Structure 1
């Protein structure tokens, strides 16, 4: 069960990074620059989704008798 929590924390961090990158890019001038912010966005969005799905699968698997 603890492993699913770690994946869930990773999913939350990736989601925060995704939203932050979207706001930075939509503001017109990202603090890190457009290219690094876009790279972070392109990495964090799918990583967050995969981490969330993995956390749910691990949690469901640990609840089975």
Structure 2
């Protein structure tokens, strides 16, 4: 898998760059950092990230930007 998809991929601009507030809660709305479109609630986006290998060392999230680890 080269990049994450599904809920984390902005349907408007195609990037995977989330605007995550410091005080994020499970019901916090998360927006695309590139174009500002609502991507979903943190709980569902975090679940999707984990399901795609985010917690297994395959990807890392840094300031809302998700990158594949080499």
User: Structure 1-normalised TM-score?
Assistant: 0.32
More strand by percentage: 2
Larger Rg: 1
Q: Larger relative contact order (C-alpha < 8 A, sep ≥ 6)?
A: 1
Relative to the length of structure 2, the TM-score reads 0.30
Select the structure that is richer in helix: 1
